[in-house]
Structure 1
């Protein structure tokens, strides 16, 4: 494995560029399996390296190069579950979508045989008409005869096996149960932060001056932190509820997984914002000279560190 392969495996684009500048011949290097740096980048899910290679004219020869088994980078991407890389490759006009390996398999064969991508393909045909399959499933780019016969012999005409479909159905059911818990948590956070936005710490000005109705502690730094944190918590929790509502209507596992991840991240941010808002609100109404003020700061820092540690 060459230095260029190692840099591609680690995702170090700057190192790759330096190697190419110093030794242009490194562009043609392959390992003992015939894999070039683009193969290695795809195998290790280095999206930044894939983009770099596609945008680097000196590496054009890697785009359709085959390894010892005849698999091009698109074959390798289609055999994996990395749809982002597949999308980039099929959108590139230089990529040969009709390439066959040594056993006459095309990239679309791997798409159809992959349990996870097969489910994605199945849902896309019925609702979204997947761009990936649409570009691969063209005259000359259809599934190979060998692959079609294999699927017929194993009762797998279509996009997926029954077992894979059942697995995705059960996983979708579990994800929806998780969504139900997340939407409850996000709804509670949205309710609490919405109410806190109107019950300002310290109250409002009651005199007849021009500041009547304004927050009394608006000039304090801790109050400003409270307002910012409470706003972030409310907005993130509200968006999380909205995303999870749409996710509950979705049946495709991959889209449902994406909804769940995004909603979980937003719920995490909103819960952290709520904790910061609570701590800063308490600190705003306590005299800074008392020990309680310091205890409040320490507890808030510990809470924030616990959130960050839990996320990592």
Structure 2
């Protein structure tokens, strides 16, 4: 039987006589995978020796991924077979599969110390230690990537003079050990030639210090400081230094260590002009900001390339709880009304970014000025109204506008504002926006009218079939029936008026459409509420014989009607009202919608400030 031989085992002159094997003998493959030493030996003995190299022809058989029997035995953890192959066929140790991996790569990735020891001890030249796969990872790289510290120590101790380079990601052994937090491995690497490496220009930013910060290992930072302080000054491609990294991931201990050792890091900006305090503010890490302000109080005056301070950045990020904590810091008091290069205060920035909870926190702060204008002459409310006129306006921006209207935030002079709006918006898009609103409300009103009309002729309890009261409702004397009839009638007539009003609106101009919308929304709210009451009264009548169920229906229905009114109230009546009582009641549906948005958290500010 002729068995094709893998050409990598052959001399260059003999390669033409052989083809690459594409499959492995089934019996040999099965015995290797199952770890059956006896069957494996029988399968190996079936094949004659190769004359040139004195290797069994069977050993060069490859699986679909060009893996040898040693690859298979190693991946399945069969020690006896690996031991036998390492003893009789040590050349297999350096053979690579389709991914460029030796059996040592597989053993190191699995963290199997015994297999690693067997493989490295059989390689007398130590060539296999430097073999790299297609990712340029050696076995030692793999051990560190998969956090196998003991395996890494075995590989290092095998040859402490072995030169290693970085992998395709630019990560050195020292970087990987620092990322994993292995202090003892780092000591081995830095105290021996094995830890020396060269980095090309493409990967010069992969600093072990940055890796230690990402791994949040203070012990590694201290060791690196002790052995190589120059590595702390390395910056990444974005211009971020080590303190930026610590601030970006909220590593408080690392940031404290760096501030004490390299306080000048706090005054280094990245390519975007962000200083470490801005990075911490963007991510919402209050402890790091407090620590920086305590140790280096003048960092609060640092500005980005756009002239924005720490509150501007926090307002733009939209992290509500962190922003509220910043507002309470006395050190940042004077920053609340500072403007960036575009004249925007933190309130302007939060409004532009559409963060309603941040806006609410700012307007509840008595030190925040609501009437300040930016370089375009716009207040925060002006900006919110411009965004509302943009189609489609997001729910967050609608709530932002709502917050400013409820507090009574001022506008700029109306003529100036209208001129700005005309420059930014086309009248046609505004008309299309309103037409869409009209169509949606008209559809809902039509459905309400249809449902209530039908309910008017299908009374709860039915009708009497005998004279003299034939056709009269059976439950005419019941109080809940009276409620049903009144509410159902009101719902149908209100819905009908809404439908007719909006039909007229589509025939008129833009101003007529606006007036129609303002009239239709409250009427639709009344119709929906009355329809819900009618439904509740009708169901109550139908189950009135079972008192607990009737009471449950009444309680549940009442709760949902209150919720409906709270949700609909801001849509119907929200405006720049000067009436304190209206602001008081509008506050609760506003908070409810913030909570539904997922951005509401309890605020300690008192409601009296909101209503002043």
Higher relative contact order (CA 8 A, sep 6+): 1
Q: Given the two structures, how large is their TM-score scaled by the length of structure 2?
A: 0.28
